[in-house]
Amino acid sequence: MFDSHCHLQDRRIVDSVDDIISKARRAGVDGFLCCGTTENDWADVAKIGAIHSGAICAFGIHPWYVDEVSDGWDDVLKKYIADDNRAAIGEIGLDNTVKPRNDNRQIDIFVRQLEIADELKRPVSIHCRRAWESILKILKARGGLRYGGAIHSYSGPAELVDELQKLGCHISFSGSIINDKNKRAAESLKKVSPNRLLVETDSPDILPPNIPGPTNEPANLQLIINKIAEITEKAPEEITSLTRENGMRLFINPARQ
């Protein structure tokens, strides 16, 4: 299984990352996209990627932390990406639930990271909350994602799935789809092309229901796959191989090796 979005460097779990990855492997999860969120965690992401071969690094500024960047943050980001030919860019994006709103700042930092992705030919992992109109506008103006990417933990309307796919996006679902009240995610899932579907835990966040916490981990990915299989009326094994192939094709592009 391929976990297309997690944060193994998160302070809450980083000290037990070796155990978490061993447990994940025993559960059948052998690939992870480990996403940075601020300049402060990029070194830990790089370290995890260097030690664990299944962990693909992503470096980026998350929309919640755009006000904390240093001068020259984009040069530092480029260096991290250039030093690792497998690295993606993420977690980046727009979040209109942030208070106070800092939309322009978020857009500037997001667009700069999309430019770097094109320049260094890398895929991206995108966070979007209640900012669908802006995301679409930005992606359209750029002619889509040249090297692809994923909308992580998809929470947008089902009607946008096709448009996002045409702009080069894969659509990734997290444990929030396990909640039966989340009809919107189930409807969106049915619109996703099989070759654009991804799964993720967003560990250590989004703990699935009835799992002892307090933190989520990649070993729980099977639960999300099972739910997706139930909604799409496919076998879990089919969802496993499909999402693994999609994740590997997007994030472990042989052309970059």
Q: Is the peptide bond before 214 cis (omega within 30 degrees of 0)?
A: yes
Minimum gap (Å) between residue 19 Cβ and Zn ion: 21
Pattern 116-135, Zn ion, x by CB under 5 A: --------------------
Exposure string over 213-248, b if 16+ CB within 10 A, otherwise e:
eeebbbbbbbbbbebbbebbeeeeeebbebbbebbe
DSSP letter, residue 167: T
Q: How far separated are the first and last CA of the chain, in Å rounded? A: 21
Site for Zn ion, residues 54 to 113, rule: CB under 5 A? 91
CB-nearer residue toward Zn ion: 91 or 217: 91
**Least distance in angstroms from the C-beta of 234 to Zn ion:** 26
From residue 201 to residue 230, the character string flagging contacts with Zn ion as x (rule: CB under 5 A) and all else as - is -x----------------------------
Name the minimum Å distance from CB 109 to Zn ion.
16
Taking only Cα atoms into account, the Rg of the chain, rounded to an integer number of angstroms, comes to 17
Provide the minimum distance between the beta carbon of 9 and Zn ion in the complex, in angstroms, as a whole number: 11
Q: How far is the CB of 7 from Zn ion (least distance, A)?
A: 6
Q: Which is nearer to Zn ion, 44 or 202 (CB)?
A: 202
> Cβ closer to Zn ion: 223 or 229?
223
- One-letter identity of residue 81: I
Tell me which DSSP letter residue 153 carries. S
Residue (38 or 236) nearer to Zn ion, CB:
38
How far is the CA of 104 from the CAs of 45, 91, 157, in angstroms?
A: 28, 18, 24
Report the residue number, 44 or 91, with the smaller CB distance to Zn ion: 91
Q: Among residue numbers 182 through 201, which ones bind Zn ion (CB under 5 A)? A: none
Number of Cβ within 10 Å of residue 39's Cβ equals 19
d(CA 193, CA 51) in angstroms, rounded, equals 34
CB of 237 to Zn ion, least distance (A): 27
Our CB check for Zn ion shows the closer of 72 and 214 to be: 214
Question: Which residues contribute to the site for Zn ion (CB under 5 A)?
Answer: 91, 202
